[in-house]
Amino acid sequence: MMRTLVAGALSLLLPAIGLAGEYNLTVDRVTIDTGEFVKEGVGYNGTSPGPTLRFKEGEEVSINVTNNLDEMTSIHWHGLILPFEQDGVPGISFPGIKPGETFTYRFPITQSGTYWFHSHSGFQEPEGASGSIIIEPEGREPFRYDREYVVQLTDKHPHASERVMRNLKITPDYYNRKQQTVGEFFSDVSENGFLSTVKERLAWGDMRMMQADVEDLQGFTGMINGKGPEQNWTGLFEPGERIRLRFINSSAMTYFDIRIPGLKMTVVQADGNNVQPVNVDEFRIGVAETYDVIVRPKDEQAYTIFAESMGRSGYARATLAPEEGMEAPVPGLREPARLTMADMGGMPGMDHGDMGSANKMAEMPDMDHSNMEGMDHSAMMMPEGGASDPFYAKGSGLVPTAANGGKFLSYADLKAQKPLYEEREPAREIELRLTGNMERYTWSINGVKYEDAEPIRLKYGERVRFKFVNETMMTHPMHLHGMWSILDVGAGQWNPIKHTVSVQPGTTVYMETEVDAPGQWAFHCHLTYHMAAGMFRKVIVEGGPESTQAAFSEQPSEIGGDV
């Protein structure tokens, strides 16, 4: 029993920098060893990922950030509710931190849960500049656990991020290693017939797209807490303990499907907010999301934490075990997912690229296919979703299924533990069409890239309903800074509160926001190279307490490298 208590106490203390109100971070060049390759990156306090910052709800924190790089830097406190001047987005919140200088962030801690921090300058984040945040609540948690671990996921690529972006702009499928094979063609012929298969292949070819366009970036090494699969990060436990695993997806581009063979997981938090517990066998974590789960291994054996990429091109792996050195079998990768026409909103051409020959729309008469911009795109989406998950288009090739027929978490399963806001009707609706062209690798909102777009203007005190209409073949994790996103899962006041909302291809997703944070904020897709290519907006909240009003800068923010 004493060993359990001591081990549990150490697991809580080791990752923390301290409970005092002042913290020190340095931004450094670091060496990242994935076990498969070694590269130079960016980290905090000499490591990547950086340290875990542990705050206490109700305290005021001061964080001194010293820039040891030879370029500008910044830190964004992802998911934290704070004054906009402390949000850490160059050109929107503040100018940035110059080389050799120290900038002190000061803000109150008004929440609890699992969050993370990362650079918002150039491509420093995918190069390793991120860390985790644990905020302890003022009161008791609504669930019990004996020890906890942060499980921070990253995807490290041997190419530098600037090189990745250049390659994607030149050849968008440069990193696609899961192309369709001749064997798949004959398999489809056997299932669907020769003419149907050929017709479908020609339609995709006409759009200059591929059904394998599920992940932009393959060839990465998945890592957990800075350890590659062969390095095998290990968390220790005593049989019978309840273990809280704080999953953070700080990847540049990779969605992960998480399972622990042999263990059920109870989801208790999403994006730092308590949810009504959901027992699952597997869940998908979008880029920038966090999920807290509780597991209870009862046997004295090792268990594999297996994080498989959504496109089945790679994985991260770690172990829970009673002793160091123990391992469990590592599952093989499942068959790669393939896009369907349902993921294109039920019809070709939704990416607003070159429409190609007219015959690709032959099955849809009485429509003017020459001018896609003039069409009502929302009417062609499939908001009712698929039979197994209402947040995926019916017939989507991306609908997740758990291994061995188990329970896979859906957004529809998430219900708030307690309502954060009183339920009320939104004052207005703002439609944000997620647009892009895979062939040219351009990404935008409402067909306009960030540098050419007007800010979204909100009024302090209103409630706004955002309507995301995904007209692309990619999944986009949309992140609004500074204010909570109330995801509409049809649960009314019990709708979950999130900071990142994942929007699947061919779907329409709604969220509401209580506009309670004056200032100006970033709103963007959290896929690094989509954000850098233009899927980004500035949000200006007008009005509010006089003390928070300032002369808002209209200069563009630094959303990516030189591309």
Block residue for tokens 């003419």: 195
Q: CA-to-CA distance for 263 and 321, rounded, in angstroms?
A: 12
Q: CA-to-CA distance for 477 and 108, rounded, in angstroms?
A: 27
Q: Are 485 and 511 in contact (CB under 8 A)?
A: yes
φ, ψ of residue 372 in degrees (nearest 5): -65, -25
Q: Are 26 and 44 in contact (CB under 8 A)?
A: yes
Q: Are 354 and 438 in contact (CB under 8 A)?
A: no
Q: CA-to-CA distance for 128 and 244, rounded, in angstroms?
A: 25
479 pairs with which residues across the strands?
A: 500, 524
191, two tokens: 């299932």
Q: Cα 206 vs. chain centroid, distance in angstroms?
A: 31
Q: CA-to-CA distance for 302 and 131, rounded, in angstroms?
A: 27
From first CA to last CA, the distance across the chain in angstroms is 57
Q: CA-to-CA distance for 443 and 445, rounded, in angstroms?
A: 7
State yes or no: pLDDT of 279 exceeds 80: yes
Full strand arrangement of the beta sheet holding 76-78: 52-56, 130-136, 113-118, 76-78
Block residue for tokens 């609706």: 429
Residue 11: band (very low, low, confident or very high) from pLDDT cuts 50, 70, 90: very low
Q: Are 455 and 552 in contact (CB under 8 A)?
A: no
Q: Cα 490 vs. chain centroid, distance in angstroms?
A: 22
Q: CA-to-CA distance for 519 and 540, rounded, in angstroms?
A: 6
Q: For 329-350, what is the mean pLDDT?
A: 78
Residue 338: band (very low, low, confident or very high) from pLDDT cuts 50, 70, 90: confident
Q: CA-to-CA distance for 486 and 2, rounded, in angstroms?
A: 43
What lies within 8 Å, CB to CB, of 352 at 6+ separation is: 372, 373, 435, 436, 437, 447, 471
Q: CA-to-CA distance for 301 and 311, rounded, in angstroms?
A: 30
Q: CA-to-CA distance for 382 and 389, rounded, in angstroms?
A: 12
Closest-CA residue to 336 (of 223, 214, 239)? 214
pLDDT tens readout for residues 380-406: 333 333 446 999 999 899 999 999 899
Res 548: pLDDT: 52
Res 214: pLDDT: 85
Closest-CA residue to 56 (of 14, 125, 11, 112)? 112
State yes or no: pLDDT of 308 exceeds 50: yes
Helices in 273-384 by DSSP H: which ranges?
A: 377-380
Q: Which of 168-172, 307-311, 343-347 has the lowest mean pLDDT?
A: 343-347
pLDDT tens readout for residues 417-473: 999 999 999 999 999 999 998 888 999 999 999 999 999 999 999 999 999 999 998
Residue 353: band (very low, low, confident or very high) from pLDDT cuts 50, 70, 90: very low
Q: CB neighbours (10 Å) of residue 335?
A: 8
State yes or no: pLDDT of 138 exceeds 70: yes
Q: Which of 118-127, 306-315, 381-390 has the lowest mean pLDDT?
A: 381-390
DSSP annotation of 97: B
Res 559: pLDDT: 59
State yes or no: pLDDT of 71 exceeds 60: yes
- Name the burial class of residue 305, with classes exposed (0-12), middle (13-18) and buried (19+) by CB atoms within 10 angstroms of its CB: buried
Q: Which of 93-107, 203-217, 528-542 has the lowest mean pLDDT?
A: 203-217
State yes or no: pLDDT of 184 exceeds 80: no
Residue 545: band (very low, low, confident or very high) from pLDDT cuts 50, 70, 90: confident
Q: For 261-286, what is the mean pLDDT?
A: 98
Res 222: pLDDT: 98
Q: Are 516 and 95 in contact (CB under 8 A)?
A: no
φ, ψ of residue 191 in degrees (nearest 5): -85, -40
Residue 379: band (very low, low, confident or very high) from pLDDT cuts 50, 70, 90: very low
Q: What is the mean pLDDT of the chain?
A: 85
pLDDT tens readout for residues 225-266: 999 999 999 999 999 999 999 999 999 999 999 999 999 999
Res 231: pLDDT: 98
DSSP annotation of 170: H
Q: CA-to-CA distance for 275 and 260, rounded, in angstroms?
A: 21
Residue 3: band (very low, low, confident or very high) from pLDDT cuts 50, 70, 90: very low
Q: CA-to-CA distance for 534 and 110, rounded, in angstroms?
A: 32
Q: For 475-498, what is the mean pLDDT?
A: 97
Residue 12: band (very low, low, confident or very high) from pLDDT cuts 50, 70, 90: very low
Q: For 544-558, what is the mean pLDDT?
A: 55
C-alpha dihedral, 285 to 286 to 291 to 297, nearest 10°: 20
Res 440: pLDDT: 87
Block residue for tokens 């190419």: 159
pLDDT tens readout for residues 505-531: 999 999 999 999 999 999 999 999 999
Q: CA-to-CA distance for 269 and 290, rounded, in angstroms?
A: 8
For residue 108, the one-letter residue type is: P
Q: For 364-370, what is the mean pLDDT?
A: 29
Instruction: Select the more confidently predicted residue: 145 or 208.
Output: 145
6, two tokens: 């001591």
State yes or no: pLDDT of 13 exceeds 50: no
